[in-house]
Structure 1
Amino acid sequence: MDIATLPAADGADTFCEGARLLPVHGVRGGEAYAVQDWVAEEVPVALEFNGISHAVMLATPLDLEDFALGFSLSEGILDHAHELYAVETGESELGITVRLQVSSAAFARLKQRRRTIAGRTGCGLCGTESLAHVSRELPVLADPAGPLERQAIARAMLQVQSLQTLQQATGAVHAAAWCSADGEVQWLREDVGRHNALDKLIGALANNDVDASAGFIAVTSRASFEMVQKTAMAGVPLLAAVSAPTSFAVATAERARLTLVGFARKDDLAVYSHPGRLAAAGYGAH
């Protein structure tokens, strides 16, 4: 969501987009209960490029045009958003199909990669045909105009938590948010898959001509290799995650000159690569 158009929370009791109201039975505090509760939607979403099926992901059926564009950019299928000519979605009993019309150059890149993905909840590596397709060439990120304050990350993570309307209703989704350099959340997307949430965010930034390099991304998940790779592909110089990174993620961040922050909780954080982008933190630059 664009934070300027965030819906009021009052309607959460009567309608929650991206979730279904289902009967739930359980025991709490030794007492049995039966209630109607919101459960996050998870459906197969197929991405077709110029009529050719390329990927099937399990995703929350929200912001699918952003998802299609963000996935195409972060996976290197599109070099620029203007290479995407049209997006159409269609539903069937089996799931949702998103049909993209892309430029001939982009379609040629797609065919050259010969990559077919069958993803579990945003797992973007399942089905990769060779090890050479896993780690690809990444842009080397330039430093922003000035160093980021540590407090900006703490401010952003606090805002992300309060703005996760679907997570508050269901307890089952991740969020990815783009934040200004002073830590104000400007754009946020949610999904059952952490990679999907990030792709949706990247697509929203591209669709709205946001200078992604002017801020940073905050996520409510661990920082896996693909989260770092997608952030670098979007041109964002810092990724802050509420949980830990992996060693492959740290190595990828070092290679792309991306500042990788983990365990970003309240005023605490751990910096795993290029700490020089954070001001007044007592870190030395790599």
Structure 2
Amino acid sequence: MARRTVLAASSVAVTAVGVGSAFAATDGTTVSNEDTAAASASASEGACYTLTSELVEGPYYIDADKLRQDVTEDQEGIPLLLTLKVIDAETCKPLRNAAVDIWHCNASGIYSGYEEMGSGGGGTPPTGEPPTDAPTGTPTGPPPGGGGGHQEPTDDTRYLRGTWHTDRHGHVTFRTVFPGWYQGRCVHIHVKVHVDGEWTDAGYEGGHTCHTGQLFFDEKSVLLSAEVEPYASNTTTRTTLDEDTIYPDNGHAGGLLYLKYDRHHIARGVRGRLTLGVEPDETNNG
């Protein structure tokens, strides 16, 4: 990566209705202890934390043109407060001033910047009778699961995308909504970590990408979200976490988030968190 620039979205008004009070409830929540469950690595390997899995970038990445923590814009859905901690997996030292990108689909399975692609690149859900004519031409573009090469944006929308810097403790927090799903993929959020660049008045410049991964949600939380609008109106067949072909099936090291929410009222909001153990000297573009 020769150079990358993040432009601040100074004219974009972003809101997350109810987020301020969405996480007050504690009765019936699910809570995990990340510190005792995830910080495991072999001492003989010279590491103090499990290295987070590198995964595919997917076709819908746009090089960080929104410098912000609240990426919600006008998207409806369950409020999600996402906190990530980025550390050097070998030394366990936090990475300060790293640039972290997140991007994901909305409740209907649509990515901003690619609305013409329909639900996750699979096109608009079919309606009416199936076609009877013989197919013609050669298929183009990524498969419905979204695992193909990078695609150029089809429009100027940028909801549910954003970039922000880690603090001196390696933490970065985003306000967004619980993602929906689309054909061929389980519920997930994409993430990148960039280091060795410089924050300027224009944004983040230079450096390299040391981590490209995805963040995942357990089935219990997804099933609860599916009972809430607008997720309940998503008629696309859902791929479960176990069925997903990209999730590496290695728990939190593979991007499985720790979640906290009221299981009786998940619509009030969800808190998600995870520590990303990365190799800052490596380049992982996904």
More strand by share: 1
More helix by share: 1
Higher relative CO (Cα under 8 Å, sequence separation at least 6) belongs to 2
- TM-score (ref. length: structure 2): 0.22
